[in-house]
Structure 1
Amino acid sequence: MKIYPYRRLTGSVELDVTAVRQEREGVYQHDLETWAFNAQERVVALHQVERADWESVRLSIQAKLPEAEIAAGPWKDVTVVAVLTEKATNARTTAELRLKTGGVWTGHLRMWKSMHLHRAELTVVVVGTIDDVPGRMIGRADVPWIVDLTARMPVRQTEMQIEEVDFSEGPEWLKQFKDAPWIVETSGDLPVVHVNTSFEGVSEVLNSTSRDPMTKAMREMLATQIATEVWTSVFQAAVSGLDPEGHGEVEWPGGWKDAVLKSMLADVLPDVSGDDALREIHARRIESAGWSELQPRINYAAGRRAKVAKNLGTAFRALDTARRES
């Protein structure tokens, strides 16, 4: 957790995309149907929109701030800014929102197709003047949106975030894992793989674009190991989150947890399908009856999703080729 030397908002900052307009300068403007963006999943999907020659999309944005807290706080000149970023292209676009009524701020942000490659993150940042210092960030959206140029449907599916951070100097909770090459976090809206940049070689190998057979083989094996651990962790997290109130009713959790369970249950409980598989996996976990016997199948299912056999086979062949050539 990052510590700020000034007071920040404790209330919720909510973000919604209310409309998406597809545009080509001087040719057309076209409002997309609501199937292209999903408020529950917080995703805009742009891969199979109505026109393929679009240049930009205009996102209509609404943010809701804790009005009473804003009015009573020590900040002045409060401004709300929508921010769209993508790490792959280092693109960053901002747009200031305007206050309407009831703590609701609205506005538009234009996203240029040429500036993005794959998946961008949309959030809102609240800034203000505190102690005569302007531009201090006092809050941001609780959950960002994803604007995905490659997604056909507006769902997060099993996507995850990868963050590179020095565990010895990063957030306090990561310092206890300073000797680990990576840590998988599943407590948030999306799974996050924290890669430890202070662990020599890990970040360099994962980010390498070298075609050298030895380097490529090492990259494949490392990525496979991480992927297997990720699938195991997200499955355990998804199962643990079933029936959190203890009411006995087991429902599909939605979001990435929903996608993980539907993907892996077919291999974990191959003789049971659908809602019956969901109820059985939940019952086995809470009653501990047969849960330990499922661990090999969970590991097997995770390995299949990570394509362990294929990736290790490719890596071993690359190593053998490099050995023979040397």
Structure 2
Amino acid sequence: MNAQLKMGWFEKHTQWLLLVPTVLLLLALTIYPLIYSLIAMLHTVNVRTGERTFVGLQNFVEIAKDTFFWNALKNTAIYTGVGVAIEFLIGLGLAVLLTSDIKGRGIFRSLLLSPMMLPPIVAAVIFKVMYIPDFGVLNWLLGLVGISGIVWESSADTALMSLIIVDVWEWTPFMFLILLAGLQAIPLDPYEAAEVDGANHWQIFRDITFPLLKPAILIALLLRIMDTLRIFDQVFIMTGGGPANATETMSMYIYRHAFRFSNVGYATALSFIMLILTTIVSNIFIARLKTEEVF
């Protein structure tokens, strides 16, 4: 009788029991680190001894006065704004071009997606070799047209742009892929009506294609902006944040405080600010996306 009761209990609660491993894993990987970080950002933490000293909001006061933080925030904003804008314009142009009936468009689509298949670290290493001032292929190509070699990563004037070029090369295919899917999902009826009314290509794009493509555009921009705001691997491999902090992004600055200076409390406070900024940006896009009609 007891065995039957136990069996009945397990059968009745099977769906909840199956969730237990997932819930435990979620607690271990997300909830606990979140609680720990909320505590750590209000303390100074001695990594060696594990001692914590409560300082309240002092870490945030120091951040507000930290010129290196504002420099990192500026670099991150430039990297995100310029990189995503270029990726969007090129991706949109390629998507519009390759939705038209041109010969070999399937091959072009496949080739365009190939950079996205590489791990970011591999792309960073490839471009680091290409950027070598004396032997890199980019300066060799510039020399063919009479332009003197550029010190890509070693100059504060060009270092950040050299990182943006890598990001554009690797992630424009991602933008292209989402926009292409959005274009192919647009119904043909509005285009047929516009042709009957005698609209030209620009009018069709402005009044039909772009408005109906807005949901895909917002999704593509949201995903890329959230990704570029936390850029770390390419910066770490190619410039390390230099020269003279010209390429130090928020993620790189947090890494430096957490793992080089062992200033865990300060790094956690920086991470919390980064989380707030990312959440604000994402909520703006999500709110805008909700107002768009999805066909």
TM-score by length of 1: 0.28
Larger Rg: 2
By relative contact order (CA 8 Å, sep 6+), the higher-ranking structure is 2
Structure richer in helix, relative to its length = 2
Structure richer in strand, relative to its length = 1
